[in-house]
Chain A
Amino acid sequence: EVQLLESGGGLVQPGGSLRLSCAASGFTFSNYAMSWVRQAPGKGLEWVSAISGSGGSTYLADSVKGRFTISRDNSKNTLYLQMNSLRAEDTALYYCAKDQDSSDWTYFDYWGQGTLVTVSS
């Protein structure tokens, strides 16, 4: 059974940092691209970042470019999102999502339950 378990969310002041983690199980982690998708309170889904199965290719949305970094440790079956210079508009539930493809991001066939990031003073 595929499981994706996010952690690391919390309350942080504007300008602060957080690192999100997503522990994956039930599939060969290194064989699949992974993404982070966020959902602001009462809003829809926004694709934020993606990484290929090998980790060699990454993507960051313009809204987070220069502030967020995506990475993965295939030996630990874990996906990360390092978030720096956080802003109020980054407040959202952050979901980890498994792609159905190995090298490129396409569509997501499994999702985690999300971890909440709140940016507020």
Chain B
Amino acid sequence: QPVLTQSPSASASLGASVKLTCTLSSGHRSYAIAWHQQQPEKGPRYLMKLNSDGSHTKGDGIPDRFSGSSSGTERYLTISSLQSEDEADYYCQTWVTGTHVVFGGGTKLTVL
């Protein structure tokens, strides 16, 4: 079963860019992941599915400021032109189809 590792926190200034990282356990470098955003006091929101080759499929209404990329076992979420509403917890998720679903521990993003 894959394991996902995320840094507990990150911060960046309003208007800047930030790159969040989700690391897959070794042996799982071919796995796709999904990124989800959870704003304070709200339910999670699907951002995108991110494949091992860096291609990604975004959810409905997700702005172009959100993009994904991949390198080896690392999966990235880049948010450009940071806005105050981007301050949220970001979770990565992966799966073994029909068997397991796994979440990373989440990264709390602070917009300065």
Q: Is A50 an interface residue (CB 8 A)?
A: yes
Q: How far is the CB of B59 from chain A (nearest CB, A)?
A: 6
Q: Which of B59, B102, B105, B106 contacts A47 (CB 8 A)?
A: B102
SS class of chain B's interface: helix, strand, loop or mixed? strand
Q: Is B67 an interface residue (CB 8 A)?
A: no
**Per-residue A-contact encoding for B32-48, CB less than 8 Å = 1, 0 else:** 11101000001111100
Q: Are A45 and B46 in contact (CB under 8 A)?
A: no
* Most chain A CB within a 10 A radius of its CB, from B36, B42, B44, B91: B44
Q: Is B63 an interface residue (CB 8 A)?
A: no
* Contacts from A to B (Cβ < 8 Å): 35, 37, 44-47, 50, 57, 59, 95, 97, 100-101, 103-114
CB under 8 Å from chain A, chain B span 64-112: 91, 93-95, 97-106
Q: Are B43 and A50 in contact (CB under 8 A)?
A: no
* Most chain A CB within a 10 A radius of its CB, from B33, B59, B101: B101
Q: How far is the CB of A55 from chain B (nearest CB, A)?
A: 14
Residues on B with C-beta less than 8 A from A46 are 103
| Band of interface residues on B | 20 to 34
CA distance A108 to B102 in the complex (A): 12
Q: How far is the CB of B2 from chain A (nearest CB, A)?
A: 13
If A44-B103, A59-B99, A97-B44 are given as contacts, then 10 extra A-B residue pairs at C-beta distance below 8 Å, sorted by A number, are A44-B104, A45-B103, A57-B98, A100-B49, A105-B98, A107-B46, A107-B94, A108-B36, A109-B46, A114-B43
CA distance A57 to B99 in the complex (A): 10
Q: Are A44 and B91 in contact (CB under 8 A)?
A: yes
Residues on A with C-beta less than 8 A from B103 are 37, 44-47
Residues on A with C-beta less than 8 A from B104 are 44
Residues on A with C-beta less than 8 A from B91 are 44-45
By beta carbon, the residue of chain B nearest A107 is: B34
Q: Are A105 and B42 in contact (CB under 8 A)?
A: no
Q: How far is the CB of A115 from chain B (nearest CB, A)?
A: 10
Given A44-B91, A45-B91, A45-B106, decide whether A111 and B46 contact each other with a Cβ distance below 8 A.
yes
Residues on B with C-beta less than 8 A from A44 are 91, 103-106
